[in-house]
């Protein structure tokens, strides 16, 4: 009897041990990629991480851009690691490695952290992945044909003229950021939603929720327990964000209804907006619903504000500091744009502003509107010919750092538009990333360049820019997009015989 009891006890222990071994083996298999990432992360250099929270608090530091990101490649080399909570992310700097990731359709999925923007931007082209992204991109891409985009020059010119009307008519020092942002919003209201810049009743647009958008993603990252939706949804911040999203959706839905009504009487000479094109897409493709139109409209309206507004303001600031480059731009503007504000610039004249475009690109190199992007790779990738990243790895891309690689951009802190002149050596497209690159590049980048050139050209026609005394330096800060702490200040001096766009 004792023998059988001992045998049964031994068998139970063996069975228990076997089950535990099986369980551990299954867990190790399921966690193998995660463990590989962790092992690699512990081998790589990176900013000092703290237990559990990792590097989450870094994003709140005032000198994140100038201290950490600008010097990241010098400090860590071509591949670095950061910890977001207990999850490792890998920072890729070198264009040759970035090409492997950004050029392939196998790596088009956005990082899981873009889900933090769903209640702000919706699930449009910036935040979506997989089939939805590829389908929407294919459907919307024809609307960004250069021939269609150049028809928006009238809208850009009207908004620029409205901006000139609001600027002081005497020499003054001012923060150009607010003026420029309002101009860009006027452009988007007409180009995306179909509300004319010269609308007689602008009260409704002045109360537009697109003027009041506030993103909370950085707040959630610096409070990593809020990365869990089950916790975040219990907070006041979540309630405020959902309320904001509802206002954006309701407003967009109302604009869609108006454009559907307007299309009944739309003539061939009437200006069209992106909502018109997306409504046509929806009519021909039932799977592209009104909710999809709303998501894409919110994406264009919100992403287009900060990115283009910052780029224009930084360019004006830098032209004020570099008189020789401003003079070249002004001569180019005088040569190609008519000096009569009643006559719209032509598509050809805007294309000919090549030196101004080089100045804009150099501004975007120094101060990329989106200084940080992320991807999730779809298959294993080898970085720097020695590090293997497994599928599902979260990749961080820092244009602000890549744009300062000395072996690509000598004397990287110097403002030198000649880097982008027609005679300059061919630039590696993965070394210049203000609008990303590859299949997931910004669908509206051509729109943005035409917009920026038109607005800046109008300002240069009317004003000479010089630095504002005591405000000659800029302190860039990160708030999803790049901003300047305290704004960007310049002295505006009306040019003799300048346009009177009143």
Cα–Cα distance for residue pair 272/269, rounded to 1 Å: 9
Tokens of 412: 């990287």
Would you list which residues are annotated within the binding site?
442
342 vs 286 pLDDT, higher one:
286
Helix, strand or coil, per DSSP, at residue 345: coil
* pLDDT tens figures, 409-460: 999 999 999 999 876 666 788 999 999 999 999 999 999 999 999 999 999 9
Helices within 263-403 (DSSP H only): 274-284, 290-321, 323-336, 347-351, 354-366, 399-402
Rounded to the nearest integer, the mean pLDDT of the chain is 88
> Comparing 8-12, 273-277, 287-291, which segment has the lowest mean pLDDT?
8-12
Share of the chain above pLDDT 70, in %: 89
Contact 482, 368 (CB under 8 A): yes
Task: Write out the two tokens for 501.
Answer: 């766009």
Question: What is the C-alpha end-to-end distance of the chain, expressed in Å?
Answer: 108
Chain segment 349-402, per-residue pLDDT in tens = 999 999 999 999 999 999 999 999 999 999 999 998 899 999 999 999 999 999
Structure tokens at 254: 């109302």
Model confidence band, residue 500 (pLDDT cutoffs 50, 70, 90) = very low
From the annotation, which residues make up the binding site for heme? Answer: 442
Q: For residue 381, is it left (φ>0), alpha (ψ between -120 and 50) or beta?
A: beta
Output the pLDDT for position 502.
44
The CATH classification number of 64-73+98-367+398-494 equals 1.10.630.10
Work out the number of other CB atoms within 10 angstroms of the CB of residue 20.
10
Q: Could you tell me how many helices (H) and strands (E) the chain has, helices first?
A: 20, 12
Taking residues 64-86, what's their average pLDDT?
Answer: 92
DSSP state of 66: I
| 139-147, Cβ contacts within 8 angstroms, sequence gap of 24 or more | 139/281, 139/285, 139/288, 140/277, 140/278, 140/281, 140/296, 140/443, 141/443, 143/274, 143/277, 143/278, 143/281, 144/443, 144/444, 144/446, 144/447, 146/446
Structure confidence at residue 279 (pLDDT): 96
């Amino acid at each position: 009897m004792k023998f059988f009891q001992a045998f049964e006890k031994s068998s139970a222990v063996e069975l228990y041990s076997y089950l535990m071994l099986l369980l551990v083996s299954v867990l190790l298999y399921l966690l193998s990629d995660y463990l590989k990432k962790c092992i690699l992360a512990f081998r790589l250099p990176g900013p000092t991480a703290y237990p559990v929270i990792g590097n989450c608090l870094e994003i709140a530091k005032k000198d994140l851009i100038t201290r950490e990101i600008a010097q990241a490649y010098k400090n860590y080399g071509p591949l670095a690691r950061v910890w977001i909570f207990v999850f490792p992310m890998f920072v890729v700097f070198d264009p040759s490695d970035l090409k492997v990731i950004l050029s392939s359709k196998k790596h088009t999925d956005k990082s899981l952290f873009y889900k933090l923007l769903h209640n702000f931007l919706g699930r449009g082209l910036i935040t979506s992945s997989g089939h939805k992204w590829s389908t929407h991109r294919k459907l919307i891409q024809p609307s960004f044909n250069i021939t269609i985009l150049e028809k928006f020059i009238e809208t850009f010119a009207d908004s620029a003229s409205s901006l000139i009307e609001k600027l002081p008519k005497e020499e003054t020092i001012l923060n150009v950021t607010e003026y420029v942002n309002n101009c860009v919003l006027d452009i988007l209201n007409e180009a995306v939603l179909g509300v004319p810049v010269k609308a007689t009743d602008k009260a409704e647009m002045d109360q537009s929720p697109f003027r009041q958008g506030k993103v909370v993603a950085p707040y959630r990252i610096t409070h990593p327990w809020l990365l869990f939706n089950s916790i975040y949804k219990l907070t006041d911040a979540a309630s405020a964000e959902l309320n904001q999203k509802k206002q954006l959706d309701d407003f967009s839905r109302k604009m869609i209804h108006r454009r559907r009504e307007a299309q009944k009487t739309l003539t061939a000479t009437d200006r069209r907006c992106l909502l018109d094109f997306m409504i046509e897409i929806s009519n021909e493709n039932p799977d592209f619903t009104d909710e999809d139109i709303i998501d894409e409209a919110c994406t264009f309206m919100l992403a287009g504000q900060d990115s283009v507004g910052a780029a224009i303001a930084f360019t004006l600031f830098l032209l004020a500091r570099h008189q020789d480059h401003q003079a070249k731009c002004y001569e180019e503007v005088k040569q190609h744009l008519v000096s009569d504000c009643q006559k719209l610039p032509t598509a050809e004249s805007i294309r000919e502003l090549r030196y101004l475009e080089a100045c804009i690109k150099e501004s975007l190199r120094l101060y990329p509107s989106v200084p940080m992007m992320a991807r999730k790779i779809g298959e294993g990738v080898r970085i720097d010919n020695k590090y293997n990243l497994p599928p599902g790895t979260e990749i961080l891309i820092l244009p602000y750092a890549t744009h300062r690689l000395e072996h690509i951009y000598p004397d990287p802190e110097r403002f030198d538009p000649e880097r982008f002149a027609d005679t300059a050596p061919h630039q590696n497209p993965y070394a210049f990333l203000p609008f990303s690159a590859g299949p997931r590049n910004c669908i509206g980048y051509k729109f943005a360049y035409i917009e920026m050139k038109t607005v800046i050209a109008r300002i240069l026609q009317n004003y000479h820019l010089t630095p504002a005394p005591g405000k000659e330096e800029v302190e860039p800060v990160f708030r999803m997009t790049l901003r300047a702490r305290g704004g960007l200040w310049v002295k505006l001096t009306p040019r003799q015989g300048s346009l009177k766009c009143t």
